[in-house]
Structure 1
Amino acid sequence: MPWIFATCLFQVWCAIGLFVVRLDGSPRYAMWCNVLPGLLNVILDYVFIFPLGMGVRGAALATFLSCMVGGGMVMAYLVWFATTLKIIKIKISRKSLMLTIRNIGYQCRIGISALLGEATMGVLMLMGNLMFMRYMGDNGVGAFSIACYYCPFVFMIGNAIAQSAQPIISYNYGLDERIRVVATERLAIITAIACGVLVTLAFNLFPDMMVGLFLDRHTEAAEIAVAGFPLYSIAFIFFIFNLTAIGYFQGVEKVLPSIVFALLRGILFLIPSFIILPAILGNNGIWLALAASEILTSVSIVSYYFFKRRKEKCCVA
């Protein structure tokens, strides 16, 4: 645990620093800041766990060292290679400090929806484990844990699309280039839907293989997971779409809608879905809870979009 907690410092630094590196015009370098530490982590995991016999502590130490390397790469870029977004000396005048505080507050306000998006994963795992334990016992929790292993990969896809489009959207929004904003968001939505379809197909076509990576296929937990994956995957098209749409609202400074939709998918729809659907549909209802929450959120986002569009047309008329 001490090594894992120490890792958080570098993870936070990388999350912020890599965003700056991409905005500075070096997405390829940002990619290598992820790839190289990831490969190093794999190698160090093997060395520390097996040849050196350090067990779980070795795995934690490998993660710490890998993230430290990634953080070092980000810092090196910002200090020596940045072209536009360079590190500068902090101004300590009263006006500068007040402007800094104002900007930090503004960033926090815009970023609340991203925070809620991350929190959704925690709520999903907590409610899923509680419901599976209640209805299906330890084997159900074991099956759901496999789904939880894959869920961050789905989140990663949606988050990547949203974060890639966000700087382009916000930049052109600032220039009042609305046509470019709409074109970028359209491309992001199409990409999100396409990726959602591919992930859903993988969960429907290869559930045995995906579950078999973690559990003996002949165990009861594995049988539950294989049967549940197709139901669980119904959520993924809407899951990725919602992340992309919320990222768009952040990019055009629509703070309130982004927060509301993040709350809907993370708490207001998700928790009731986990409580109500199992009572109606039995065990299948637990697998469908995420899909119900994401579908309701997608309907809310699309309804809001058409409502605003209709309202703007009426104002023009």
Structure 2
Amino acid sequence: MDDKKNLLLKGNINSIFYKYLFNSVLGMLAVSFCILVDTMFIGRGIGSEGLAALNICIPIFNVFNGIGLLFGMGGATALSISIGKGEIEESKKIFSQTILIAIIVGITISVLGVIFTENIGYILGADEKTIYLVKEYLSGVLFLSFSYVLSHTLSSFVRNDHNPKLAMLATSTGGILNIILDYLFIFEFGMGMKGAALATSISSVINILILSTHFLGKKCTLKFVKFKLNSSRLFRTLGNGAPSFIIEVSSGIVIFIFNLALLEMIGDIGVSAYSIIANVALVVAAIFTGISQAIQPIISINFGANQHDRVEKVRKMALTVAFIIGTIFYLIGLIFPTIIVKIFTTETGQILDITVNAIKYYFIAFTVMGLNIVMGSYYQSREYIVASNIISLGRGLIFLMIGVFILPRIFGVNGIWLSSVFAEVVTFLSTQLYIRFKESKNNEIHKL
């Protein structure tokens, strides 16, 4: 424990940052590719109807991932800060309690999902035209939904136990397996939407099995201990994990809201077009999430040990990387929109025109999105829950809903695509105002 702790507290901060960055980003990319590959194979194997059905189902993954990160990021943040303060026994109790509750919640979700599959499909926005394909996909996801929750929870703890490489290996292996199984189930076995869903679910189970090997190794310091269920410990975990949960769940809500708005304005073809954009956005957001997950263990333990200079250096490096990556993806969308669309579908005509036009507007948001996600993680890693939740709620729900309500009335369907840009920019500006307000108040207190 001491050697690993000292490495994060005293080792070269640049090399530590890039080590965690590489493994975390690669791992998150593998997770996003599971859904991305589903989209590519469904678009080419089933067509635009399958894309529309898949996009209706995607928010269910946001819910599962959000719950997993609620416990994973929440518990791991509390664990690392406690270790930084030297509270080793408390860190073990945090780990043990969090894992137990995550298992119970995950199994409960799986049982309820199997019982209410059709109801869930209609809640997500399916209608009589799409419910068959939606049910087919959900049936391959819901009975193994516990695996999505546990994989994110375990991954966060393994990363915080100084093994980001295994966390990356687990998700990468799952992603590669998902590609292979997608091809086999959809094209070779003709299993359609259910085959795509099963491929993703099986990959998630394999992810858990690989992560579990960490607890068999000699370097593992995460130990299960006897504990009494402690409400303050639970609320601390949930409070720390709330921003990650909000980001994930609000992303699902955004897809749901966009689907409804597009159905009203241009019909199913709009939902199919948005399915392509949403999946590209999923990959970009996964990279930003990988950056935020990379800085969390480093910031939490150094913050707990009052190493504030190291905390600030990591924050600045993460913001720089996020801005560069966001700008690159915006330029790719601006220059190569047609190529992006043709990766997902062989269809031309209206769906191609709508999606190419949408990309040019929607991708502007990437230049600011990474800055918001990194700053949210920065505050979350320090247990500054109010600031982190302002960012999460602002960009993921409040300002985006305002944008969807107002902008289409001014710009038509382009207003829907600009809503994400509006939400990210207003959130960024609001965060800057909040920071300056807090700093000015702290300065006044110090003067007194």
Normalised TM-score (structure 1):
0.91
Instruction: Please state how far the C-alpha of 1:185 moved relative to its aligned partner.
Output: 0.7
Please show how residues 1-317 of structure 1 align to structure 2 within 5 Å. 1-78=138-215, 80-81=216-217, 83-89=219-225, 91=226, 96-98=227-229, 100-216=230-346, 218-317=348-447
Shift of 1:214: 2.5
Amino acid at match of 1:114: S
Separation in structure 2 between the aligned mates of residue 283 and residue 257 of structure 1, nearest angstrom: 33
Residues of 2 paired with 1:141 and 1:44: CA distance? Answer: 26
Amino acid in structure 2 at the alignment position of 1:173:
F
**C-alpha distance in structure 2 between counterparts of 1:297 and 1:209, whole Å:** 31
Cα deviation, residue 200, structure 1: 0.8
Displacement of 1:37 = 1.5
Deviation at residue 217 of structure 1 after TM alignment: 6.1
The runs of 5 or more residues in structure 2 that have no matched partner are 1-137
- The 8 Å contact of residues 139 and 194 in structure 2, kept in 1 or not, is answered as no
CA separation of 1:283/1:82 partners in 2, compared to 1, >3 Å: closer, same or farther? farther
Rounded Cα–Cα distance in structure 1 between residues aligned with 2:186 and 2:241: 38
- Between the aligned partners of 1:10 and 1:119, the Cα distance in structure 2 is 17
State the Cα distance separating 1:82 from its structure 2 match.
Answer: 5.3
- Structure 2: which amino acid aligns with 1:19? S
Deviations 1:276-295 (A, max 9, x none): 11111222211111100110
Structure 2 distance, partners of 1:33, 1:106, is: 28
Corresponding letter in the other structure for 1:83: K
Deviation of 1:311 after TM superposition, in Å, equals 3.1
Q: Deviations over 1:241-266 (max 9, x none)?
A: 11111111111111112122222222
In the alignment, the residues of structure 2 paired with residue 298 and residue 156 of structure 1 have an alpha-carbon distance, to the nearest angstrom, of 19
How far does residue 84 in structure 1 lie from its aligned partner after superposition? 4.2
Q: Deviations over 1:43-91 (max 9, x none)?
A: 222223333333333333332322221111111221x1152433324x2
CA distance in 2, matches of 1:52, 1:35: 24
Whole-Å separation in 2 of the counterparts to 1:42 and 1:296? 38
Partner of 2:84: none
2: CA distance, partners of 1:269 / 1:82: 47
Aligned-partner SS, 2:203 = helix
Say if 2:334 and 2:360, in contact at 8 Å, map to a contact too.
Answer: yes
Structure 1: how far apart are the matches of 2:345 and 2:162?
Answer: 43
How far residue 221 of structure 1 moved from its aligned partner, in angstroms, is: 1.9
Distance (Å, rounded) in 2 between the aligned partners of 1:224 and 1:256? 39
Alpha-carbon distance in 2 for matches of 1:273, 1:256:
23
Between the two proteins, the alignment pairs up a number of residues equal to: 310
- Cα deviation, 1:201-246, whole Å, max 9, x if unaligned, reads 1111110001112234631121011112111111112112111111
| Between 23-32 and 3-12, the greater mean CA deviation after superposition | 3-12
Change (3 A) 1:162 1:209: same
Shift of 1:198: 1.1
Range 2-11 or range 228-237, more displaced: 2-11
CA drift of 1:299 comes to 0.3
Q: Is the 8 A contact 1:170 1:252 kept in 2?
A: yes
* Alignment partners' CA distance in 2, 1:270 and 1:190: 25
Cα distance 1:56–1:137, how it changes in 2: closer, same or farther (>3 A)? closer
Q: Indicate how the Cα distance of structure 1 residues 293 and 33 shifts in structure 2: closer, same or farther if over 3 A, else same.
A: same
